[in-house]
Structure 1
Amino acid sequence: MSDDVLVVKDLQAGYGKKHVVFDVDLHLRPGEIVTIIGHNGAGKTTALKTIFGMLPALGGTITYSGEDVTSSNCRHNALLGMSYIPAERFVFSDLNVLDNLRLGATHVPSAEERDRLKKRVYEMFPLLFERSAQLAGTMSGGQQRMLSLGIALMSNPTMLLLDEPSLGLAPALVAEIFDNVRRLADEEGLSVLLVEQNVGQALRIADRAYVLRSGRLILEETAEVMRRRKDYWDLF
């Protein structure tokens, strides 16, 4: 589709000669949140890492903003506007919160734009403003997850690849992070590809959902239709 920011066709991915993802087709529109759900080991994270360029595609094509990025590395893709937040806590532990955020904006040339992005992050996560001088490594897991999202947003991405944002977090913080992701999609047109085990929260903010089982996509539905299912776990 001509207005898609991301088009993945017949994607095959894995580690060395071991294939984990098979013939996956998916697409993502501007301002859309699409979630990929499935059990652990289904290939969800492998797909995200391959799209971002952290793993080589073993087959198929990946097109981002009209450019073939199938063979591109993650640095190139980040400069194009992709941002990836892994499931693991990803912060620079020995730096304070403000310096972490500044590193996220390394490739933003305008000081005015960097200030705008920092203000946006602080508005979304006031705790980061309050803790701006605190070393990231001394923060709680939930606070570090919040900071990792802030770092990603400082690069001013057009597409966010978000892996298991709810992992190990209290329900109230999960809801806050998910609400802010939805807000960014609605207000700023951010496209989000979300991998999540918390199916209820993912479907609450998503527009569409893909179900991945044993490395293959077995279903695509709108989130509204998926929410009405009583048996979606049986799909896995």
Structure 2
Amino acid sequence: MELISWTPVIFGRSGFPRDEEGKPFLPRNVFTEAVTSAVIFYYIKKDREIENKVKKYLLSDSLNIKEVAEKVKRIVLDKYPVMENLDIPERIYLPEDQIKERYVELFDLKEWIDVKGFKTEVFTGIVPVEINSPYIEKIRSAAHSYAEALARMEHSMLKDHPLAKQFYEPLINDMKKWDIPLRIGMWTEVSFKGDLLFFWKIKEVREKLLKTIKTDIRPRYVLFLPKEKQTTGWTELKIK
């Protein structure tokens, strides 16, 4: 299997972690978090029982902001243990010559402005990665459902901004042909990322969370590289 970064990948504001010899890598949790987000979205959308259970929880008076992400994950994975026996290396090493320093905008998709940019390391390239799972076809379906929904949502927020047509429309068409599309690494600074994306069209949930956690369910702020004119983290796991 190969990891192909179709747009630059960022680990964090301080760059990529490095081992004892100074070699940069992506840790395992970057991939598990990306797959988990896709699985959560897919099964909330696919299973009405799961949707209703999560919705009831999100509308409850006892909602605890610190527990939301973990609680929603448990509701989904207790019924669909797709993450079990997912075999991913602890470290996926990155070639040093494919890492560059770039200025990154924290781009507001609604206001079309950079609200708090910064410089950091980005990776663009192809690296081998051995990922195995007995549920690989379920992960593939979940990954497509989530990545395409996330790209369409960001596209819709941009409305008539040039980025919508120049970047997002080709991206949405291209990713339909990818084996397993994943949004990995740091691509937003919204705490929930896209884990609750399914509910952004459900008014009562959207309004409750906006009131409770003071933030939009949608990842309104995404990382954007002005030099490349791309948002970050759009990758493919390509099965050889």
Normalization by structure 2: what TM-score?
0.28
**Whose relative contact order is higher, 1 or 2, with alpha carbons under 8 Å and at least 6 apart?**
2
TM-score normalised per structure 1: 0.28
